[in-house]
Structure 1
Amino acid sequence: MSSASSPRPRTRNTWQKQAIDTILDHSPDFLSAQQVHQSVAESGRTVSLATVYRVLQSQVEDGVVDILALDDGQTLFRKCASTGHHHHLVCRNCRATQEIEAPKIEQWADHVGEDFGYTDINHTLEIYGLCPQCAQAAT
């Protein structure tokens, strides 16, 4: 296998994965695993919450699903709109989310790792604020 080839996805193409993909494909918003689980149930299929978490985590590792960790401890998932590494700007009020690229953050993270002798640096960054609509409603 050449170094230019992309890694093979770890997620098998099961009916559970297909059901979860359909739900994520039709939602522009981040969803909790519980919301995905409920949506599968509403479609008439039965799947365990553990399976939903396992499929979502595999898709995160495969780079096809974004994960968003909120400061209240909740974890949300959404199909990636961007390819490659990116960050999120999140509204604290309505949870509207914008994907952003931040090359200076990438450079900073690499330098911090190098300063301490770390290699294979990875990071997650979410920036929180109020979206224009929520900011206007607050005034």
Structure 2
Amino acid sequence: MSTRNDPTIPKLGVRSTRQRAAVVNVLRDLDAFASAKTIHEELTRRNYRVGLTTVYRTLQSLADIEAVDVLNMASGETRYRHCDTDEHHHHLVCTDCGKTEEIEGGPVEAWAQQAAQAHGFKLTAHTAEVFGLCSDCAPRHSAS
């Protein structure tokens, strides 16, 4: 089911603008976490006139209302992805092509709660992302 140019895009938040809808459309079409720069380049390729600063502001406001998943890379770069679910989840991310699968936390949830309690913390949030090579990229790396 395609979500391209869907006028009833959920999670736009209070400020539903043409630029915001364009950013969300691009995010929905991508199958990976993407940087603001990559999203801006895709908007430009699609002939949307949205400035890079607007893309950054839009992504931040979408992150604030938890309408996008946010991945902070070790390099310091922040990447964004459209949420497929409203439920708490984690991600399996290919380190080569960026393909991303949403996964349940399983034992991570209990571990986070136990670790917080053991150190006198009240758990308010946690993130856990799993990195590896997807089935398309793994064969290229095993040959090297």
TM-score of the two chains, using structure 1 as the length reference: 0.80
Q: Is the Cα–Cα contact under 8 Å of residues 31 and 99 in structure 2 kept in the other structure? A: no
Q: Is the Cα–Cα contact under 8 Å of residues 64 and 80 in structure 1 kept in the other structure? A: yes
Structure 1 residue 10, shift from structure 2 partner: 5.1
1:98–1:49 CA distance, 2 compared to 1 (3 A): same
Say whether residues 1:76 and 2:108 are aligned partners. no
Match of 2:41 in 1: 38
Match of 2:3 in 1: none
Q: Is the Cα–Cα contact under 8 Å of residues 91 and 130 in structure 1 kept in the other structure? A: yes
Say whether residues 1:64 and 2:67 are aligned partners. yes
CA distance in 1, matches of 2:36, 2:111: 32
Amino acid at match of 2:22: A
CA distance in 2, matches of 1:113, 1:9: 33
Q: Deviations over 1:31-53 (max 9, x none)?
A: 21012222333344433322212
CA distance in 1, matches of 2:25, 2:43: 9
- The alignment of Structure 1 onto Structure 2 pairs a total of residues equal to 132
What are the ranges of 5 or more consecutive residues in structure 1 without an aligned counterpart?
A: 1-7
Q: Secondary structure, in 3 states, of the residue corresponding to 1:34?
A: helix
Q: Secondary structure, in 3 states, of the residue corresponding to 1:133?
A: coil
Say whether residues 1:132 and 2:132 are aligned partners. no
CA distance in 2, matches of 1:115, 1:10: 37
Match of 1:21 in 2: 24
CA distance in 1, matches of 2:47, 2:136: 36
CA distance in 1, matches of 2:117, 2:12: 30
CA RMSD across the alignment: 2.2
Q: Is the Cα–Cα contact under 8 Å of residues 36 and 55 in structure 2 kept in the other structure? A: yes
CA distance in 2, matches of 1:20, 1:117: 41
Match of 2:119 in 1: 116
Identity %: 37
What are the ranges of 5 or more consecutive residues in structure 2 without an aligned counterpart?
A: 1-10
Moved more, 38-47 or 121-130: 38-47
Structure 1 residue 131, shift from structure 2 partner: 1.7
Q: Secondary structure, in 3 states, of the residue corresponding to 1:21?
A: helix
Amino acid at match of 2:70: I
Aligned runs of 1:101-112 on 2, under 5 Å? 101-112=104-115
